[in-house]
Amino acid sequence: MYISTEAAERIVREVSLAVDRPVNLMNDHGIIIASTDLSRIGTLHQGAYESIRDNMDCLIVRSDSDYPGSRIGINIPIRFEGQIAGVVGIRGDDYEELNRYIRLIRTTAETLLSESALHPLPSPEAAQDRLLKRILFEQPLSEKQIWEYGRQYGLSMETSYHAAVVIADQALTENGTADPVKTLNNILPAPGTSSCFCTAPGCIVLLLHGFQGKKQELSAYLTSFSSALGVSKAPSPGFFVGYDQETCTFLTFYDAFLRARIACRTAQIRKLFTPVCYQDLTLELLSAGLSDPVRNTYLRRILPDMPPEQLHSYLHLLHVFYECNGSVEKTASALFVHKNTVQYQLKKLAELTGFDPRNIRHAALWELVLLLYPNSELDHHA
């Protein structure tokens, strides 16, 4: 029988607590699937393999060189319904002391194994969700651990996905406009049969299958999250979405998740209700990683103390000015004002703050302000 990862880890945990020794659990092929030494998971324990093959009651390893991948200690096959299901290995060279534990170890392990067999294997969807959450929230999993989990539950380690992170605008949850999880559940899966998502604190994490080499289709699909809520266009409340253009597998999912989260954080900061791609980010890579206290401190140091409407007017001017690549004439035309008015306002802002938007060294400071300032109406300010 298959010994699930959860059952194997529980057996190792309970046995190691009982005997206060390093413990391994090998499956019916002699592969270590759980261990107090995480580096050994996924390796072959030749001693366990031979004890299963020869139907032994117990195998003593007296030297680390006796069997490849084995260490000094005792190895006790455990049975389920009369068949050897795996082997529990206890490290140590005090064999007389270890022999006293054999009965306790076998009884404990077989009891826990029987309890786990009463519960059916999770569905592929539940297995996917469990694996995603383990990768995201548990101690870092090695590739061997992820491979073993996938083997036990029939999950492909070769399927390509795109990672995306979704955060619901606070206005949605406050006024009860939509339940983000329920909404996504209604519109997933995407084209293909392997797409899945899991909930995480403050966000929803997606793995989307079927969009390899189709960036426009991927962006259009992610945009549909807002339309599924009946959201018209920004700055109406909706979902903030960030995604990673590079494909990933379960083995590389965590790094893809981190990239998608940075893109989503950028969308949230800038109040963008269209999907943001990590590979399109430049200065945003820095701004997205700032904590709220650091961001607020930076804005206080740069921005003048003035009424919000006046400040919005200045920032809208800067937004247009930089969109026009620093051209005073184009900025004046876009704002329907005289170019002298633009010059005066830029000069006045420099006097108020000490940072001249026309100075190339200060321009980067103002560009960062425009990224960090929590205002979604700069593009629409009249």
Cα dihedral 53→57→63→69 (10° resolution): 40
Q: What confidence score (pLDDT) does residue 225 get?
A: 67
Q: Which domains does the chain have, with CATH numbers?
A: 5-117 (3.30.450.40), 127-287 (3.30.70.270), 300-380 (1.10.10.2840)
**What pLDDT does 377 receive?**
40
**pLDDT confidence of residue 232:** 43
What's the pLDDT score for residue 176?
Answer: 52
Average pLDDT over residues 140-167: 83
Task: Please tell me the predicted confidence (pLDDT) of residue 186.
Answer: 65
In the predicted structure, residue 179 carries a pLDDT above the cut 80: no
Our measurement of the distance from residue 225's CA atom to the centroid of its chain's CA atoms, rounded to an integer in Å, reads 20
Q: Please say whether the beta carbons of 116 and 4 come within 8 A.
A: yes
What pLDDT is recorded for position 59?
Answer: 92
Q: Which residue has the tokens 């020869």?
A: 54
What integer pLDDT is reported at residue 23 of this predicted model?
A: 93
pLDDT at 171: 56
Sign of CA dihedral 344, 349, 350, 356: negative
What's the CA gap between 50 and 247, in Å, rounded? 41
Instruction: Report whether pLDDT(378) > 50.
Output: no
For the whole prediction, is pTM greater than 0.75?
A: no
How large is the average pLDDT for residues 140-146?
Answer: 81
The angle formed by the CA atoms of residues 227, 174 and 168, to the nearest 5 degrees, is 40
Question: Using CA atoms, how far apart are residues 132 and 139, in angstroms rounded to an integer?
Answer: 13
Q: What is the dihedral of CA 177, 181, 185, 186, to 10 degrees?
A: 0
Residue-wise pLDDT for 319-329, tens only, equals: 899 889 999 99
pLDDT of 75 over the 60 cut: yes
For residues 47 and 64, give the distance between their C-alpha atoms in angstroms, rounded to a whole number: 10
Three-state SS annotation for 325-375: CCCHHHHHHHHCCCHHHHHHHHHHHHHHHCCCCCCHHHHHHHHHHHHHCCC
Residues 344-377: pLDDT tens digits?
999 999 999 999 999 988 998 898 888 888 643 4
* Phi and psi at residue 64, to the nearest 5°: -60, -20
**pLDDT value at position 194?**
66
